[in-house]
Amino acid sequence: MGFFLVITGAIFWGVGGTVAQKLFQDYSIEVNWLVSTRLLIAGFLLLSVQYFWKDRRQILDIWKHKRTAFQLTTFGLLGMLAVQYTYMASIQHGNAAVATLLQYLAPAMIIIYLTIRKQTVLTPKDVVAITLALIGCFLLLTNGSISHLSVPLPAIVWGVLSAGSLAFYTLYAVSLLKYYDSLVVVGWAMMIGGIVLSFVHPPWQINLISLPMEAYVYLIFVILFGTMIAFWFYIESLQTLLPKETSLLGTLEPLAAVLATVFWLQESFGIYQWIGTACIFGLILILAFSKKTSKETSSKTN
């Protein structure tokens, strides 16, 4: 179930990012408006599901303890809102494929963080994986030319910040999930992020009447599948998977984003950018194989 949840969520996340790019490019949707709107609606729907079908008491109980209330607020601002805004900003300045690939530097960041905290040991495979990530990003962003960037600098900055936010989002949620359902944690985190961003760009300040019908379809997809289900499934998978495993399996997101961007939006990708993409996927395969090997060794020892 954990594998199914994270894989499904990752695919919706990747395609949702590409659909958001379509909204930015063709319908001039503003990033602040989209992020605040999708967070508020998706958060409300998740809490509604919790209220009608699961333990409704948890919705308010999580706020009754200072520690969990502080953790939830921190997760909502530095996790949910940060990863949403930085990812969408990177898409707006560049494209969904590059933004998503940059975001998946997160597994390498998680490894480095856990190593510094002495919660894991840095292995030769981890070093190779991190090196692949750096080479892959260089080729992806420059297309093999040192003289200029093939991706606008703001898109790179936002993309790297998105990776850091995703790493924090993955690690920080674990402690809350020990006591509360994922619907409560993700739903409230979305509401917190959406409310805060509403002070920057209120959701009602947009002329939706002028949008064509297909734009509404794209908005519904981004809110329901690219936000509500994607984040819910991703966090729910942490109930049965480790953060490192979830972040690795979530790499179907960049694959979905790249394929959708290249073949649906007709974005061009140079040969070196494809090689860079292969390097980043190589990073993921090495980390995943390393995890599998360590599990097999552990089971034999036991």
**What is the chain's alpha carbon radius of gyration, rounded to the nearest angstrom?**
19
- 291 vs 235, residue with greater confidence: 235
pLDDT of residue 196 exceeding 50: yes
pLDDT confidence of residue 147: 64
243-247-253 Cα angle (round to 5): 155
User: With contact defined as beta carbons under 8 Å apart, do 78 and 192 qualify?
Assistant: no
Average pLDDT over residues 199-211: 81
pLDDT confidence of residue 289: 65
pLDDT of residue 119 exceeding 80: no
pLDDT of residue 287 exceeding 70: no
Of 259, 238, 262, 263, give the one whose Cα is nearest residue 249. 238
pLDDT of residue 232 exceeding 60: yes
pLDDT confidence of residue 85: 93
Average pLDDT over residues 195-201: 90
Rounded to whole angstroms, the Cα distance separating 82 from 241 reads: 23
Of 232, 203, 178, give the one whose Cα is nearest residue 49. 232
Q: Name the amino acid, one letter, at 260.
A: A
Average pLDDT over residues 39-62: 93
Average pLDDT, the chain: 84
Rounded to whole angstroms, the Cα distance separating 94 from 150 reads: 10
Q: How confident is the model at residue 108 (pLDDT cuts 50, 70, 90)?
A: confident
Q: How confident is the model at residue 40 (pLDDT cuts 50, 70, 90)?
A: very high
CA 31 to the chain's CA centroid: 16
pLDDT confidence of residue 262: 82
Q: How confident is the model at residue 14 (pLDDT cuts 50, 70, 90)?
A: confident
Average pLDDT over residues 226-247: 81
Average pLDDT over residues 129-133: 75
pTM for the full model?
A: 0.77
Rounded to whole angstroms, the Cα distance separating 182 from 179 reads: 10
The string of DSSP codes covering the chain is -HHHHHHHHHHHHHHHHHHHHHHHHHH---HHHHHHHHHHHHHHHHHHHHHHHS-TTHHHHTTSSHHHHHHHHHIIIIIIIHHHHHHHHHHHHS-HHHHHHHHTTHHHHHHHHHHHTTSS---HHHHHHHHHHHHHHHHHHHTT-TTS-SS-HHHHHHHHHHHHHHHHHHHHHHHHHTTS-HHHHHHHHHHHHHHHHHTTS-TT-S-GGGS-HHHHHHHHHHHIIIIIIHHHHHHHGGGTS-HHHHHHHTTHHHHHHHHHHHHTS-----HHHHHHHHHHHHHHHHHHHHHHHHHHHHHHH-
Average pLDDT over residues 225-248: 81
46-49-54 Cα angle (round to 5): 120
Average pLDDT over residues 230-236: 85
pLDDT confidence of residue 149: 61
pLDDT confidence of residue 113: 87
pLDDT confidence of residue 66: 93
